[in-house]
Chains A and B, each alone.
Chain A
Amino acid sequence: MSAIPQRFGPYGGRYVPETLIPALDELEKAWLEAREDPSFQLELSGLLRDYVGRPTPLYHASRLSEAGGRDIYLKREDLNHTGAHKINNALGQVLLAKRMGKTRIIAETGAGQHGVATATACALLDVECVVYMGTEDMRRQKPNVERMGLLGATVTPVESGARTLKEAVSEAIRDWVANVEGTHYVIGSVVGPAPFPALVRDLQRVIGDEARAQFLDRTGRLPARVIACVGGGSNALGTFVAFVDDSDVDLVGVEAGGEGIDTGRHGAPLTTNARGVLHGSMSAVLQDEEGQILEAHSISAGLDYPGSGPEHAYLRDTGRATYLAVTDAEAVDAFRRTCRLEGIIPALESSHAIAWALANPGPGPDLVTLSGRGDKDLAEVLGLE
């Protein structure tokens, strides 16, 4: 049984109130046991197969390939039940929470995909579910708010700050501090205090493990580049982790450039080299010179976050992965092109990864993680017209 890392180089750690430390210790121990327990793995993999619909396809996007001048393959996480990769993590964590005897689940959500995934897992496994969501995101992602209600979850509006993902995470952590005994916090990305970044990575690595095997099977080789969008970074890390030891494969994380890096209105802490402590871990964080956390800006609610997973910051510093940003306008353009060329409506988050792939020629073949579907984004995109 190998221990769960607390740090990735200088990043990670547990910067949380003392009250949470016993809960984090308990979670780490529970995950070490569960991930080695065949009965837990059998239950999780059975649900991923029969309920979520895994393995998701690896799709050769022929018309995007033509437009990009090289072979582009999409890992179709949009075809998961609930429409995004978030369900991989939510199901695993709710199963783990039940195993730990927790009777109440809380979660935060930005775009609503993690909230819907957690509400879904809680409905399936019959656990109480409370989802914190900023009121600005509730406005932008109304269908997902309604979905969570139908699934039996309580959506608690968060009014502080910019009323988006950052504040929702803060409120979820405050709830957890107050109710730590019987509650598990299903964090939605590879962020937060240890062991969360490693736990969520472990639960999302099914994306990369499947994609790597499918790619080899289909093409007889590995991709030249693996490209994924990064907010907190769970779909990207879940993909990258399977390829980290393949030194010939370039790993590219695409952040939210918002209105442009030079405008300051973006969600690209990894691209801009920032370092700080947010929501329990040291990582790349947007902040001012006195350490006040800045608001992120992105057209996509799922990337509208001033922090990033600590392991991404480490992969950046070691040079193993590269992080770049794509603007709102470029992402929307890629969204439209993917609709018309492939008959696939991608999430605005995933559209960032597609945009970067289309704009940056390489020898190919490229693997792009299509982290979710874009139905939730129709109002936002159509509102631009």
Chain B
Amino acid sequence: MSDRIAAAFASHGRSAALMPYLMAGFPDLGTSREVGEACIDSGANLLELGVPFSDPLADGPVIHAAATEALKAGATLHGVLRVCESLADQVPVVLMVYANAVLAGGDSAFVERAAAAGAAGLIVPDLPHDEAGGLREVCDAHGLALVPLAAPNTPPERLAQIAADARGFVYTVSVAGTTGERTELPPELRDTVKRVRDAASVPVAVGFGISTADHARQVAEVADGVIVGSRVVRAAGEGGADAVAGVVAELASAL
């Protein structure tokens, strides 16, 4: 499965791969599937599919609220994985899931179910490198990429370890903070991405705060992939699949 991620980064014909994030089950499971289809039709090369969690520590208000609404609308892991399944034969789908949701039923069981639903990888934002060894072994055994995160303040020796154990790509967090739209990209982003690229042999994608076509263009100058979350989730809440199609098409046109 992780070779699908490599292929998606290698063959998009753009300045960088585009990876929209959508919250599974928001505003409901059916609509989130349509949102995923709209992302793909409008130019997404990979998808990041959020698994709704009650206490999403790495997320800002838009994605937090979407998770809360998805759970209120009755989203379960079973439903989330059906959404994954319906999208995964078109582009690689990477699940963004919090540690407790992975560990609750045992990490092996979770990874088996994710693999069966066609997921290409996992991003676990509250499972830093030191805690991730066990899950990475399980993911490796099932052909899933456990994608690590790197932050602007990650020290060099730690970054080297993260990069060495990376699978799929390295998710580089653009800013210290939670997910959410920001008006400007941080000035040190170019340096941050360069440090990660120098350390990693897999592609480097950047997320957190990227909300406009102009941001996407700037990130694509230095990174292999552009991840856009809160802007897409906000569109899904405001105007469903049609609104998302417009946002993703505009981002795609910038790459």
Contacts and interface: CB of A to CB of B under 8 A. Distances in A.
Interface of A: 13-19, 21-22, 160-161, 166, 170, 173-174, 177-181, 276-280, 282, 285, 287, 289-293
A14 B177 CA distance: 17
Contacts of A180: 153, 176
Interface of B: 53-55, 57-58, 60, 64-65, 68, 71, 76-77, 98-105, 125-131, 148-155, 158, 162, 173, 175-178
Shortest 10 CB-CB contacts between residues of A and residues of B: A291-B104, A178-B177, A19-B151, A277-B100, A291-B101, A291-B100, A292-B54, A18-B151, A293-B54, A18-B149
Contacts of A17: 57-58, 125-126, 128, 149, 151, 173
Nearest to A179: B176
Contacts of A13: 130-131
A16 B125 CA distance: 7
Contact of B103 (A179, A276, A289, A293): A276
Contacts of B177: 19, 174, 177-178
Given A290-B76, A291-B100, A14 B176 contact: no
A385 B77 CA distance: 44
Contacts of A177: 57-58, 176-178
Q: Point out which of A21, A179, A181, A285 has the most chain B C-beta atoms below 10 A from its C-beta.
A: A21
Contacts of B105: 289-291
B13 to A, nearest CB: 31
Given A18-B149, A292-B71, A277 B103 contact: yes
A199 B158 CA distance: 24
A16 B126 CA distance: 4
A277 B126 contact: yes
A145 to B, nearest CB: 23
Given A15-B126, A21-B128, A178 B178 contact: yes
Contact of B55 (A19, A21, A178, A278): A278
B173 A290 contact: no
Contact of B77 (A22, A290, A293): A290
B3 to A, nearest CB: 25
Contacts of B100: 276-278, 285, 287, 291, 293
Given A13-B131, A15-B127, A18-B151, A161 B68 contact: yes
17 contacts: A14-B131, A15-B131, A17-B173, A18-B148, A21-B158, A22-B155, A170-B55, A170-B57, A177-B176, A180-B153, A180-B176, A279-B57, A282-B103, A285-B100, A291-B103, A292-B53, A293-B54
A181 B55 contact: no
